[in-house]
Homo-oligomer: A and B are copies of this chain.
Amino acid sequence: MLEDHFLHRFLNAESIAVVGATRNPFSPNFHLVNNLVTLGYQGKIYPVNPRVEDVVGIRAYGAVSEIKENIDMVVVSVPAQNVLDVVRDLVKVRVGGVVVVTGGFSETGEEGKKIQDEIAALLKAHGIRAIGPNALSPINSHNGLAICFFPVNKLPSGKVSFIFQSGMYEPRLNWILSDFHLGISKLIDLGNKMDVNEVDALEYLSQDPQTGVICIHLEAIKGDGRRFFSLLKETTRRKPVIILKGGRTEAGARAAMSHTGSLVRGSDAVFDAAVRQVGAIRAETLDDFLYLAKAFSYLPPLPGNRIAIATFPGGEAVLSTDLCMQNGFELAKLGPASYEKLRPSFPPWNINLNPYDFGLIYTFHGFTNNHELFIDAVLQDENVDCVALQLPPLMFPLDPPAFCPAFLRAVERGKALAAWPPHMLRLEGDLVAYLENHSVPVFPSAAITIRSLGALNRYRQYIQYY
């Protein structure tokens, strides 16, 4: 049962104490309490700060032990030298779990490691599970719980859950949730992993029905490596798992050591092979990581590798064809019915149906909604497994609800369809927002669109053949 996993209480905490809560809005700690209020978290909040009466209008306590109630989760964000004292105090009362946000432990060297071990031992002796230190989490979009040093304006729910080695997501979290239109379910940042590690987090999210895609950022495996990979293998049968790893190179591994005290063991090539073998998807970069999260959360599984593509300029049709080939696709051979539907758009000679060239048609017929024509043709065509196309240039005045119905029909019919704009970087706010709000993902370029679809295609092959 999911409810029996110890992380369930962290993510569904009905009472949270925040040690180090502050009224100073310029302090990172301010947001630890303020986000809960902003996001409408319905549990009890106990700010702990001996120097103030209240924090954002909520009564503050001098110490955790002064709170005479069950506390599901204690979040500790005080200077490193005070953490052990806080822990000595909190073990006196009934606490479900602890998150040590504070950094300055094993990542700083032997002495920090010693204190971290002492904290871990003390908590373990009292049967209290602990996330961190040097960790900012958790987040659960379903109950407004967000422990974060940055303001979180809203927390739209989605099916992607993240495991992070560190708070790397933080400065971009608002952007991910709003402009990038990626809804999340849960986020667990593990930091130095003195107790809770990636195996625990994966165990939980693997079983979580609200989590449809798992994205894991890690610098080193702290738990049992065999268990991690066998759990991955079991999980990828049911939901895609995307992995981004820092510390692939020697210098990167050294940086990881002084960032989260992560000891990178073994070569990256071995890690890479293991990831592939268990059907997880390796993200090469942080960019990839987020684009793959989006692709897997927006799009249905691919039934095959036959892709239909359409671009605005013809040169891009050629480049996009190359990208499709490089990503394991074949160009779908559109049938006679598609030919009949598309023929009226042709210039005075026969052109390719796939890749289809909107730009060429524009030079002959001016701007018409050939996107609709094309999408409706390929939707009916049984030779097409997925569709990637370029949106029209900004100069054409478009009313999204009038322009997009065919895109929405593709979503309704369960056809994987992804788009990219005619320049890069998704500048056309209205159209992009409209499409993404209707489950059509828009990536910044042909390369990113087709590579992201390529990952879906590799995942399909894994599921099909292994």
A316 at the interface (CB under 8 A from B): yes
List B contacts of A256 (CB < 8 A): 318
How many angstroms between the C-alpha atoms of A451 and B286 in the bound complex?
A: 13
A348 at the interface (CB under 8 A from B): yes
Stretch at the interface among A320-328, A377-385, A456-464: A320-328
List B contacts of A52 (CB < 8 A): none
A212 at the interface (CB under 8 A from B): no
Contact between B166 and A313, CB atoms less than 8 A apart: yes
Within 8 A of B (CB), among A235-290: 244, 246-252, 254-256, 258-260, 284-287, 290
Known A-B contacts A151-B395, A395-B151; A255 and B317 likewise in contact (beta carbons under 8 Å): yes
> Looking at the complex, which one of B255, B290, B425, B445 makes contact with A355 (CB distance below 8 Å)?
B255
A426 at the interface (CB under 8 A from B): yes
How many angstroms between the C-alpha atoms of A81 and B359 in the bound complex?
A: 20
How many angstroms between the C-alpha atoms of A247 and B286 in the bound complex?
A: 29
Known A-B contacts A28-B362, A315-B164; A171 and B423 likewise in contact (beta carbons under 8 Å): yes
> Looking at the complex, which one of B26, B167, B325 makes contact with A313 (CB distance below 8 Å)?
B167
CB distance from A47 to the nearest CB of B (A): 19
- Residue of B with least CB distance to A77: B363
Contact between B176 and A315, CB atoms less than 8 A apart: no
Known A-B contacts A171-B422, A172-B424, A248-B322; A447 and B285 likewise in contact (beta carbons under 8 Å): yes
CB distance from A310 to the nearest CB of B (A): 12
> Looking at the complex, which one of B103, B180, B357, B423 makes contact with A347 (CB distance below 8 Å)?
B103
List B contacts of A360 (CB < 8 A): 103
How many angstroms between the C-alpha atoms of A290 and B447 in the bound complex?
A: 13
Known A-B contacts A313-B166, A318-B259; A425 and B423 likewise in contact (beta carbons under 8 Å): no
Contact with B along A21-34 (1 / 0, CB 8 A): 00000111000000
CB distance from A287 to the nearest CB of B (A): 5
- Residue of B with least CB distance to A351: B258
Within 8 A of B (CB), among A337-391: 347-352, 355, 357, 359-360, 362-363, 366-367
11 extra interface residue pairs, beta carbon distance < 8 Å, beyond A171-B393, A175-B424: A103-B347, A103-B363, A149-B362, A171-B312, A219-B318, A254-B321, A260-B314, A284-B447, A285-B445, A285-B446, A286-B445
Within 8 A of B (CB), among A385-405: 393-395
List B contacts of A347 (CB < 8 A): 103-104
- Residue of B with least CB distance to A136: B363
How many angstroms between the C-alpha atoms of A347 and B103 in the bound complex?
A: 10
Contact between B167 and A315, CB atoms less than 8 A apart: yes
Contact between A352 and B258, CB atoms less than 8 A apart: yes
Contact between B166 and A104, CB atoms less than 8 A apart: no
A150 at the interface (CB under 8 A from B): yes
List B contacts of A319 (CB < 8 A): 168, 244, 246, 252, 285-286
Q: Within the oligomer, what is the number of copies of this chain?
A: 2
Contact between A251 and B331, CB atoms less than 8 A apart: yes
A444 at the interface (CB under 8 A from B): yes
CB distance from A104 to the nearest CB of B (A): 6
CB distance from A295 to the nearest CB of B (A): 15
CB distance from A201 to the nearest CB of B (A): 16
CB distance from A221 to the nearest CB of B (A): 15
List B contacts of A393 (CB < 8 A): 150, 171-172
> Looking at the complex, which one of B217, B316, B426 makes contact with A315 (CB distance below 8 Å)?
B217
CB distance from A320 to the nearest CB of B (A): 8
17 contacts between A and B (CB under 8 A): A104-B347, A109-B349, A151-B395, A164-B315, A167-B314, A168-B319, A169-B313, A170-B359, A179-B423, A180-B423, A219-B318, A247-B322, A249-B325, A259-B318, A285-B323, A285-B446, A425-B425
- Residue of B with least CB distance to A355: B255
Contact between B427 and A150, CB atoms less than 8 A apart: no
A112 at the interface (CB under 8 A from B): yes
A55 at the interface (CB under 8 A from B): no
> Looking at the complex, which one of B104, B150, B166, B180 makes contact with A348 (CB distance below 8 Å)?
B104
A165 at the interface (CB under 8 A from B): yes
- Residue of B with least CB distance to A363: B28
> Looking at the complex, which one of B179, B248, B314, B330 makes contact with A427 (CB distance below 8 Å)?
B179
A28, A259, A318, A351 pick with most chain B CB within 10 angstroms: A318
A80 at the interface (CB under 8 A from B): yes
